[in-house]
């Protein structure tokens, strides 16, 4: 039988709160705290009715909280994606006291609302992570020879992801690039090195973050990327101008090149420096990943083929490189124009 009772709580600052404890056969299912006693009793009455209605329909409320599930998921998951860990913790913070049976598509959409103002990819990443965690909850869990399926269906399946425009190509103008490089140089240190490597090699931020000193072949001017987006190992050339800067920080061993001072297994977070750099260079609407586009556009305007650009960037297929077709075409048009103008003038 479902029931609830309220408990008066006096805080350290003498403020009063009312905690509702929802129970079934004396076992606590959920708690919630309110400022007013009337609000607490209203919530308790509605919760009892809701649980009774669900039980009459054969819907058994899950007594596992999202926090418990998140802990189990992180114990089970063996990946090394720090971003995923961060997002699981984000969801755990926002759904800490919520039972799995209470997580509906509406609840998920409500928590994702603030993310809609950001890039669609950010919204989709948050959705993808909680979907993975809740997928784990649909798998039968074994504990002390008891098999239990926490939830039957993943509510995320009813939440649409946002459309991402992957064709966006933002690269630096001839006036912007020297300003960005100078601003990064003024900040100095490994931040300047990271910006220089991003601009001249086209490496992704995640690839730079995971780069270790023993991945650098100083004799051949190459970086070996073990963990790439498409899953294959890639050798990326490092131009001489960049290699000279790399050598200033050269170390022996397998430590991360851009190692965090707080955690040696994580990369340093240069977000504050990046914001300051863009502000100093007076550059707007330019993301870190856009430096990869700038590398491609520089190669395209220099006459490199789409195949060559794709190989340098590590694209698995030419479809990913097609966005730079117009730049290659512009170069060919200029080349033909210059050549024919000279021939006709002769």
Which residues are paired to 7 by β-bridges? 19
Name the more confident of 239 and 318: 239
Displacement of CA 97 from its chain's centroid (Å): 24
Cα–Cα distance for residue pair 83/61, rounded to 1 Å? 31
Name the more confident of 228 and 262: 262
Q: Are 133 and 69 in contact (CB under 8 A)?
A: yes
Q: 93-111: per-residue pLDDT in tens?
A: 999 888 888 888 999 999 9
Q: Are 201 and 237 in contact (CB under 8 A)?
A: yes
What is the dihedral sign for C-alpha 45, 49, 55, 61? Answer: negative
Cα–Cα distance for residue pair 186/60, rounded to 1 Å? 61
pLDDT tier at 168, thresholds 50, 70, 90? low
Which residues are paired to 222 by β-bridges? 217, 237
Q: Residue 141 pLDDT more than 80?
A: no
Burial of 153 (0-12, 13-18, 19+ CB in 10 A): exposed
Q: Are 239 and 202 in contact (CB under 8 A)?
A: no
**Short-list 241, 211, 231, CA closest to 223:** 211
Q: Please give, one letter per residue, the 3-state secondary structure of 233-265.
A: CEEEECCHHHHHHHHCCCCCCCCECCECCCCCC
Q: What would the DSSP string read from start to end of 173-216?
A: -TTHHHHHHHHHHHH-HHHHHHHHHHHHH---HHHHHT-BGGGE
Domain boundaries, the chain: 2-56, 66-158, 176-286+310-316
Q: Residue 147 pLDDT more than 50?
A: no
16-24 β-sheet, strand order = 2-10, 16-24, 27-34
222-225 and 234-237 beta bridge pairing: antiparallel
Q: Residue 207 pLDDT more than 60?
A: yes
Residue 346: the pLDDT is 46
Integer angstrom CA distances of residue 97 from 31, 46, 55, 91: 8, 18, 21, 11
| Average of per-residue pLDDT across 163-179 | 80
Per CATH, which fold does 176-286+310-316 belong to? hpI Integrase; Chain A (1.10.443)
* Summary mean pLDDT of the chain: 83
Residue 99: the pLDDT is 86
Q: What H or E segment, with its residue span, contains residue 328? A: helix 325-345
Cα–Cα distance for residue pair 82/267, rounded to 1 Å? 10
Q: 237-273: per-residue pLDDT in tens?
A: 999 999 999 999 999 889 999 999 888 889 999 999 9
| Average of per-residue pLDDT across 53-80 | 77
Q: Residue 60 pLDDT more than 60?
A: no
Q: Residue 32 pLDDT more than 60?
A: yes
pLDDT tier at 345, thresholds 50, 70, 90? low
Q: What would the DSSP string read from start to end of 40-107?
A: HHHHHHHHHHHHHHHHHTT-PPP--BHHHHHHHHHHH-----HHHHHHHHHHHHHTTT-BGGG--HHH
pLDDT tier at 144, thresholds 50, 70, 90? very low
Burial of 238 (0-12, 13-18, 19+ CB in 10 A): buried
Residue 145: the pLDDT is 40
| Average of per-residue pLDDT across 275-304 | 89
- The DSSP code for 166 is T
| Average of per-residue pLDDT across 140-166 | 70
Q: What would the DSSP string read from start to end of 282-300?
A: T--S--TTHHHHHHHHHHH
């Amino acid at each position: 039988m479902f029931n609830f009772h309220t408990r008066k709580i006096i805080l350290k600052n003498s403020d009063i709160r009312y905690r509702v404890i929802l129970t079934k056969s004396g076992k606590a299912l959920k708690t919630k705290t309110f400022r007013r006693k009337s609000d607490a009793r209203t919530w308790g009455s509605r919760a009892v009715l809701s649980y009774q209605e669900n039980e009459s329909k054969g819907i058994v409320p899950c007594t596992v909280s999202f926090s418990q599930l998140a802990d189990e998921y992180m114990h089970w998951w063996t990946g090394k994606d720090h971003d995923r860990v961060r997002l699981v913790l984000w969801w755990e913070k926002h759904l800490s006291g919520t039972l799995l049976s209470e997580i509906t598509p509406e609840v998920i959409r409500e928590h994702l609302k603030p993310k809609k103002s950001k890039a669609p990819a950010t919204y989709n990443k948050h959705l993808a992570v909680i979907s993975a965690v809740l997928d784990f909850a649909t798998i039968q869990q074994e504990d002390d020879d008891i098999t239990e399926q926490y939830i039957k269906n993943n509510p995320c399946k009813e939440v649409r992801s946002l459309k991402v425009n992957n064709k966006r190509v933002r690269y630096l103008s001839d006036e912007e690039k020297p300003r960005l490089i100078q601003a990064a140089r003024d900040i100095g240190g490994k931040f300047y090195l990271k910006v220089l490597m991003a601009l001249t090699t086209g490496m992704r931020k995640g690839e730079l973050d995971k780069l270790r000193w023993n991945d650098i072949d100083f004799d051949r001017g190459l970086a070996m990327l073990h963990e790439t987006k498409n899953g294959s190992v890639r050798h990326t050339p490092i131009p001489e101008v960049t290699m000279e800067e790399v050598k200033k920080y050269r170390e022996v061993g397998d430590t991360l090149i851009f190692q965090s001072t707080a955690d040696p297994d994580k990369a340093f977070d240069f977000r504050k420096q990046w914001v300051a750099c863009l502000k100093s260079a007076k550059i707007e609407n330019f993301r870190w990943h856009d430096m990869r586009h700038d590398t491609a556009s520089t190669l395209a305007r220099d006459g490199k083929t789409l195949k060559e650009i794709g190989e340098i960037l590590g694209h698995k297929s030419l479809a990913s490189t097609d966005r730079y077709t117009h730049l290659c075409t512009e170069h060919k048009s200029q080349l033909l124009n210059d050549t024919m103008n000279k021939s006709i003038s002769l």
